[in-house]
Amino acid sequence: MNDPTREAQAPAEAARFWENLYRGKDAVWKGDPNPVLAETAAQFTPPGRALDLGCGEGGDTVWLATHGWQVTAVDIAPTALRRVTQHAARAGVADRVSAQQHDLAETFPTGTFDLVSAQYLQTPYNLPRAAVLREAAHALTPGGLLLIVDHGSVRPWAWHTDPDTRFPSPEEIFDELILDPAQFIAARLASPEREATGPDGQKATVTDTVVAVRRI
C-alpha cells in the first residue's frame, strides 16, 4: 500500500533537492546550449514561441532568445530561475524570456508554443513524465515540435552509475505518450552518440535518446 504521507512529501522533497543543488554552487551547468536543441531550433524560419521545460540556469533558454525566440523558461528551483533572468539580462534578451516556477508534477505553463524543449527532463524523484510530455505535445501549435532528449547511457559522473541500467528506446518513449496519430507524428527517433564532458572535466562517449514529435 502506498504511504499517503510519503506521497504528500515527495513534491516538497523534489523542490528542496533541486533548490539545494543550485544554491550549493555558483554555477551547476556550463551554460552552453544542448547541441540537438540548437540543431533542431535552427531549422525553424522564422523562430516563434518556445517552452523550455526544466530550464536549469538557462543555457538553452538564452541561446533560443538570442536567436529570435520568445521563450517561457520553466523550472522548480527559484535559484535556477534567478540565474536564467540574470543570464538573459547580460545577453540583452530579458524582454524575450519569461521565467516561471512550476513543479511539473503539479502545474503546467499556459499558452501554445511552436517548439517545446525537454532536455534531460529526468529526476531522481517521482515525476509523471509521460503525462507531462503528453501535455507538452498538446500545447504545440499546428506544425510545432516537441523535442525530447534523454540520457541513453550511463555517464561516469551521474548520480546512478549501475552499468546494467536499462534505458528505454526512442520508440518506447514515443509510444508511452499515447498520442493520437491523426494529430501527431514521430519526426525523429534516434540514439546518437557524442563526446561529453563531466562537471570535473571527465571525458566520455555517451548516447542520447532523441524523440521529436510534430503536431500535424
Boundaries of every domain in the chain: 4-215
Q: Give 159-163's long-range contacts (Cβ < 8 A, gap of 24+).
A: 159/124, 160/124
Looking at residue 13, its pLDDT comes to: 86
Q: Which of 167, 162, 156, 172 is nearest to 211 (CA)?
A: 172
Report, as ranges of residue numbers, the positions in the chain whose pLDDT lies below 70.
1-11, 24, 29, 31, 157-161, 163, 199
Task: State the pTM of this model.
Answer: 0.89
The region, left, alpha or beta by phi > 0 then psi within -120 to 50, assigned to residue 201 is: left
Pair 87, 62: CB distance under 8 Å: yes
One-letter amino acid for residue 86 of the chain: Q
Looking at residue 2, its pLDDT comes to: 38
Q: What would you report as the CA-atom Rg of the chain, rounded to the nearest whole angstrom?
A: 17
* CATH topology assigned to domain 4-215: Rossmann fold (3.40.50)
